[in-house]
Amino acid sequence: MIKKLTSSVLILGIIIINFSFITPPIAMAASLTSLSDTVSNLTASTVANHVIRFTTPTGVPASGTIILTFDNGTNTGSVDYTDVDIQDDGVDVAVAATPVTTTWGVARTSSTVITLTNGSAAVAGGSVITIDIGTNATYGVTGTHQITNGTAGTTVLRVSGSFGDTGAMSTAIVSNGVVSLSAEVLASLTFTVSDNTIYFGNLKSSGSSCWAQGTDPGYVTCPTVAEAEAFNMTAATNAPTGYTISVQGPTLTSGSNTITALASATAPSIGSEQFGIRANASGGSGAVNATYGTAGQYAFTANATTAVAVATASAPSATTTYSVRYIANISPTTEAGSYTAAHTYIATGNF
Interacting residues of 97 by C-beta distance below 8 A, sequence separation 6+: 80, 81, 105, 106, 107
Whether residue 24 is predicted with pLDDT greater than 80 in this model: the reply is no
The proportion of the chain whose per-residue pLDDT surpasses 70, expressed as a percent, equals: 92
Whether residue 22 is predicted with pLDDT greater than 90 in this model: the reply is no
State how far the Cα of 129 lies from the Cα of 52, in Å rounded to an integer.
Answer: 8
Give the mean model confidence (pLDDT) for residues 44-70: 97
Averaged confidence pLDDT in the chain: 92
Interacting residues of 309 by C-beta distance below 8 A, sequence separation 6+: 244, 245, 246, 289
pLDDT band at 7; cut points 50, 70, 90 = very low
Q: What is the DSSP string of 118-143?
A: --SSPBPTTEEEEEEESTT--SSS--
> Which pLDDT belongs to residue 28?
54
State how far the Cα of 127 lies from the Cα of 57, in Å rounded to an integer.
Answer: 7
Whether residue 27 is predicted with pLDDT greater than 80 in this model: the reply is no
Closest CA to 74 of 173, 143, 145, 159: 173
Angstrom distances, CA of residue 226 to CA of 40, 73, 197, 209, 261: 67, 83, 19, 8, 19
State how far the Cα of 34 lies from the Cα of 301, in Å rounded to an integer.
Answer: 75
Beta bridge partners of 36: 53
Q: Which residue has the higher pLDDT, 20 or 209?
A: 209
CATH 2.60.40 corresponds to the domain 33-173: yes
Beta bridge partners of 266: 298
Whether residue 132 is predicted with pLDDT greater than 70 in this model: the reply is yes
Give the mean model confidence (pLDDT) for residues 154-175: 95
| Element at 5 (helix H, strand E) | helix 2-22
Interacting residues of 265 by C-beta distance below 8 A, sequence separation 6+: 290, 291, 292, 294, 297, 298, 299
Whether residue 3 is predicted with pLDDT greater than 90 in this model: the reply is no
> Which pLDDT belongs to residue 68?
98
DSSP code, position 294? S
pLDDT band at 177; cut points 50, 70, 90 = confident
pTM: 0.62
Q: Where are the domains of the chain?
A: 33-173, 189-349
Give the mean model confidence (pLDDT) for residues 163-174: 95
> Which pLDDT belongs to residue 178?
85
Whether residue 130 is predicted with pLDDT greater than 80 in this model: the reply is yes
> Which pLDDT belongs to residue 266?
98
State how far the Cα of 230 lies from the Cα of 212, in Å rounded to an integer.
Answer: 6
